[in-house]
Structure 1
Amino acid sequence: MNTFKAIVVTENNDQVSYGIEIVNLNSLSDGEILIKVSYSSINFKDMLAVQKNGGVIRDYPMIPGIDLSGTIVHTTDSRYHVGQEVIVTGFAVGMSHTGGFAEYARVPVDWIVPMPENFSLKEAMIFGTAGFTAALSIMALEKNGMDINKNPRILVTGATGGVGSIALQILSKIGYKNIAALIRKEHQLEVARSLGATDVVYVEALGEQNKPLIKQKYDFVLDTVGGDIASVLIPQISYGGSMSMCGNAGGIKLTSTVLPFILRGINLLGIDSVNVPIENRGSIWGKLANEWNICQSTLVREITLEELSQTIEAIKHGNHLGRTIIKYS
């Protein structure tokens, strides 16, 4: 433990770069819990973290990685013990607090979730922030009227990415039968169907946003991309329907009129997975570990820390499918 490997993001002469470095415990941020990391996962936000002006990391050097699962090797808090398996996602991990792209991580005690029963360290990171966000999105939509018994028309955007692919599988597993997947590329079609989509829609088929209200095509939309895609879909949501929004890969601007909201009573549901109170996280992870556990069918690739840059580039250029997790020895 004297030294160990980590990805370190640095800034020199206004240029941002990253790579594997040998670091020690003094390189880690403060916290009551020291964790030997077993797995981490790679998210869109992690790709942004290693880019210039990515908006994730502002102080350098920094160890990125917004997710991790592992085993406690030291604790100053009596509520937890050495050898206990835990999950850490969100809060400032991998942003302003050193994160999961390292063999060890140190975090505040109030950021950790004890591992649910019948759930493995690997399964926790197959879900990671992406799965946690997918769960929050589905829960928000169901709270706002999405009901299996009503056979609603559901559209999932970014359907073969991290959040979208897990959302498709969960929706299918719990019994929804009318799930459309929004995709951009031909090779994503069979992937989307294999994940549980009953229909596939290409982005080009959505049309342009040129009318404040158009045909009501979808009762509920689980949006993971934002931007123009979300803007085009708002006028297509049916009366009383809802759209959850959790991502900005398609841009941060949203263009709409008030008409879908005041004439059709639709709802936009903002989804934040970063600052969910710790007291609420255990029940969500428990649901993912049990009735919503789709790990056996998830499209997942396991890599080493040395292979990270390949996945970062795939996410950056829109060529990444499903989930990629990092396994530490």
Structure 2
Amino acid sequence: MFKALLLQQHDKQTHAAITELDEHQLPEGDVTVAVQYSSLNYKDGLAITGKGKIVRQWPMVPGIDLVGTVLDSADARYQAGEQVVLTGWGVGEGHWGGMAEKARLKADWLVPLAAGLTPLQSMQIGTAGLTAMLCVMALEEAGLTPDQGDILVTGASGGVGSVAVALLAALGFSVVAATGRSANHELLLKLGASRVISRDELLTPIRPLDKQLWAGAVDTVGSSVLAKILSQVNYNGAVAACGLAGGFELPATVMPFILRNVRLQGVDSVMCPFARRQQAWQRLATLLPAHFYQTACKEILLEEAPEAAAKMMDGQITGRVVIKIA
């Protein structure tokens, strides 16, 4: 038997409870893992609270991230005793996830724990940090360098945003952090932001072309905020877009693309191929400064996950939340 946070649906309402499960109830997979840590992401918050149509089958163990030790493996790539990390691939949505003491997974979904990272640090990074690293890599591949001007990060108080601020600062970029939470200004400056602006500055009316302010941006919000950013990006600049917290529509024009040569790069971490995923993890292991883990991360117990999920949905969570399982 093992402990898990189990989501069930009754009368179209989601109910979350700590439950004892039998190993025979685990879904099919190549590798069985003893989970050490998971983490709380926005998708997890939606799933646990029932505020989003995230769960595709019931019952469900949430947790789109996990790190743990292989117990047994039918795949030659992984051996008992090895430490592995999983992020994405629909786990916690259509396949039981990381908020349990055991998980059974497809070997293709796993990556070895990167050298230089502890299991705890890997979940302090998690899906949010992996997404942030992929966004930074996209900006680098677009040719952006620190001497070209400010990089804007929206939703900077959240999981992706806080890691993006720390990564860009570590690479020598001048980072402007946009947030709706004035109480987090000091935290964002500690993470490496050169200055912090209010989200309200990005909610003013959108022009086809506005004053050029940003060499590039990492956007986690979408909708009118992304449209506003595109109108303000410098000639030959780039935006990495990875979120839709503000909505999935894009009320923009083609003007920034055809008159300023602006690049808009979508970033997905869920289905990211193994080689690029592994490259991103290796860079995270070397780039993230020690103070990130101390400043922007909080650890909770599995029993506290439902309450933390509710707080996340109310905008009361800053940075990364790690869930201790073992």
TM over 0.5: yes
Which string of whole-angstrom CA distances, capped at 9 and with x for unpartnered residues, describes residues 62-93 of structure 1?
11100000000111122221111110111121
Change in Cα spacing, 1:48 to 1:296, as seen in structure 2 (3 Å) is closer
Residue 79 of structure 2 corresponds to 81
RMSD: 1.5
Secondary structure of 2:317's counterpart equals coil
Residue 236 of structure 2 corresponds to 240
Q: 1:114 aligns with which of 112, 116, 120?
A: 112
CA–CA distance in 2 between the matches of 1:276 and 1:43?
17
Which string of whole-angstrom CA distances, capped at 9 and with x for unpartnered residues, describes residues 211-238 of structure 1?
2111111110100111221122221111
Which string of whole-angstrom CA distances, capped at 9 and with x for unpartnered residues, describes residues 93-139 of structure 1?
11111100101011011111111222211111010001100000000
Q: 2:309 aligns with which of 285, 309, 312?
A: 312
CA–CA distance in 2 between the matches of 1:32 and 1:57?
22
Alpha-carbon distance, 1:53 to partner: 5.9
Secondary structure of 2:287's counterpart equals coil
CA–CA distance in 2 between the matches of 1:19 and 1:288?
34
Are positions 1:256 and 2:258 aligned together?
A: no
Secondary structure of 1:290's counterpart equals helix
Which string of whole-angstrom CA distances, capped at 9 and with x for unpartnered residues, describes residues 130-155 of structure 1?
1100000000011002112x242110
Are positions 1:201 and 2:201 aligned together?
A: no
Question: 2:191 is aligned with what amino acid?
Answer: L
Q: TM-score, normalised by structure 1?
A: 0.95
Question: 1:241 is aligned with what amino acid?
Answer: G
1:1-329 → structure 2 map (5 Å cutoff): 3-52=1-50, 54-148=52-146, 150-176=147-173, 178-292=174-288, 294=290, 295-329=292-326
Change in Cα spacing, 1:316 to 1:53, as seen in structure 2 (3 Å) is closer
Which string of whole-angstrom CA distances, capped at 9 and with x for unpartnered residues, describes residues 29-57 of structure 1?
11110000000111111111224361321
Alpha-carbon distance, 1:25 to partner: 1.6
Give unpaired runs (5+ residues) of structure 2.
none
Change in Cα spacing, 1:35 to 1:290, as seen in structure 2 (3 Å) is same
CA–CA distance in 1 between the matches of 2:51 and 2:175?
36
Contact 1:153 1:220 in 2 (8 A): yes
Which string of whole-angstrom CA distances, capped at 9 and with x for unpartnered residues, describes residues 262-295 of structure 1?
1111111101000011233222211111234555
Change in Cα spacing, 1:237 to 1:69, as seen in structure 2 (3 Å) is same
Secondary structure of 1:78's counterpart equals coil
| Residues paired across the two proteins, number | 325
Secondary structure of 1:252's counterpart equals coil
CA–CA distance in 2 between the matches of 1:52 and 1:46?
10
Change in Cα spacing, 1:298 to 1:27, as seen in structure 2 (3 Å) is farther
Contact 2:207 2:228 in 1 (8 A): no
Secondary structure of 1:125's counterpart equals helix
Secondary structure of 2:3's counterpart equals strand
Percent of aligned pairs with the same residue? 39
Secondary structure of 1:288's counterpart equals helix
